[in-house]
Amino acid sequence: MPKTFAMTSLALLALLAALTAVSSEPTNPVDYINPVIGNSAQKRCGRTIPGPHLPFGLVQLSPDTVTGKGKTSGYNWYDTTIEGFSVNRMPGVGYHGSLGNFQVMPTTGELRLHSGSNTLDQHKHQGPGWKSPFRHDDVIAEPGYYSVLLKKYDIRTELTATQRVGMMRFTFPASDSSHIQIDLARKIGGYSGRQHNIVVTNGTIKGKIRCWGEGAGFAKGTKYNLYYYAQFDKKWDSYGLWNRGDDLGQKPDVENDDLGFYANFTTAPDEQITLKIGISYVSMEGAEANLQHELSHWDFDAVQTAARRTWREAIDSMLTTTGGTEDQKMIFYSAVYRTMMYPLDFTDIDGKYWGADKKVHGGKNYTTRMGFSGWDVYKHEFPLLTIVRPDIVNDQVNTFLDICNLTGKTYPLWQMMGDYTGAGLGDPGLSVTVDAYMKGIRNFDVNRAYEIALQTARGPNSVRKEYEKMNECGYVYDHTIGVTLTLENTYGDWCISRFAEALGKQSDADFYRNRAADNYKHHYDPKAGWMRPKDAQGNWSKPWTDKFSDEGVKEGNTYQWSWFVPHDVQGLIELMGEERFASELDEFFAGAPADFSPGNPYYNHSNEPVHQIISYFNFVGKPWRTQYWTRTVLDGAYGTDHNGLAHNDDFGQLSAWYVLNAIGLNPVAPGENIWHIGSPIFDEIEIKLNEQYHPRTKAKTFKIVAQNNSPENYYIQSASLNDQPLNRPWITHEELISGGILKLVMGPKESTWGSAKKDRPPSLSNGTFPKALN
Residue range 250-269, pLDDT digits in tens: 999 999 999 999 999 999 99
Question: What's the pLDDT at 126?
Answer: 59
Cα–Cα distance for residue pair 685/744, rounded to 1 Å: 12
**199-211: b (≥16 Cβ within 10 Å) or e:** beeebebbbbbbb
Nearest C-alpha neighbor of 390 from the set 695, 706, 722, 741: 695
- CB atoms under 10 Å from CB of 24, counted, come to 9
| Angle subtended at Cα 535 by Cα 534 and Cα 541, rounded to the nearest 5 degrees | 60
Confidence of residue 275 (pLDDT cuts 50, 70, 90): very high
Please name every residue paired with 172 in a beta bridge, in sequence order, or none if there are none.
Answer: 271
Q: What is the mean pLDDT of residues 749-772?
A: 95
Cα–Cα distance for residue pair 450/436, rounded to 1 Å: 13
Confidence of residue 12 (pLDDT cuts 50, 70, 90): very low
Question: What's the pLDDT at 109?
Answer: 97
Cα–Cα distance for residue pair 551/536, rounded to 1 Å: 16
Averaged pLDDT score across all residues of the chain: 93
Decide if 133 contacts 80 (C-beta within 8 A). yes
Q: Is the pLDDT of residue 122 over 60?
A: no
Question: What's the pLDDT at 20?
Answer: 42
Confidence of residue 189 (pLDDT cuts 50, 70, 90): confident
- CB atoms under 10 Å from CB of 297, counted, come to 8
Cα–Cα distance for residue pair 74/237, rounded to 1 Å: 31
Q: Tell me the pairing of strands 740-747 and 701-707.
A: parallel
Q: Is the pLDDT of residue 371 over 70?
A: yes
Q: Is the pLDDT of residue 7 over 80?
A: no
Decide if 619 contacts 569 (C-beta within 8 A). yes
For residue 509, what is the enclosing H or E element? helix 506-518
Nearest C-alpha neighbor of 231 from the set 297, 153, 149, 177: 297
Which DSSP letter does residue 359 get? S
Cα–Cα distance for residue pair 287/349, rounded to 1 Å: 9
Least-confidence region, from 58-67, 216-225, 647-656, 714-723:
216-225
In this structure, what are the phi and psi dihedrals at residue 23, rounded to the nearest 5 degrees?
A: -80, -20
Q: Is 588 exposed, middle or buried (0-12, 13-18, 19+ CB in 10 A)?
A: buried
Q: Give the pTM.
A: 0.95
Q: What is the mean pLDDT of residues 7-25?
A: 42
Q: What is the mean pLDDT of residues 54-68?
A: 95
Nearest C-alpha neighbor of 633 from the set 643, 621, 645: 645
Nearest C-alpha neighbor of 371 from the set 218, 187, 210: 218
Q: What is the mean pLDDT of residues 447-452?
A: 98
- CB atoms under 10 Å from CB of 313, counted, come to 12
Nearest C-alpha neighbor of 491 from the set 379, 333, 350, 355: 379
pLDDT in tens, 469-487: 999 999 999 999 999 999 9
Question: What's the pLDDT at 219?
Answer: 60
* 3-state DSSP helix/strand/coil % of the chain, to nearest 5: 30, 25, 45
Q: Is the pLDDT of residue 2 over 70?
A: no
Q: Is the pLDDT of residue 422 over 90?
A: no
Q: What is the mean pLDDT of residues 716-745?
A: 97
Give, to the nearest 10 degrees, the angle between helix 381-388 and helix 390-407: 120
Question: What's the pLDDT at 215?
Answer: 75
Confidence of residue 1 (pLDDT cuts 50, 70, 90): very low
Cα–Cα distance for residue pair 342/325, rounded to 1 Å: 28
Cα–Cα distance for residue pair 463/763, rounded to 1 Å: 27
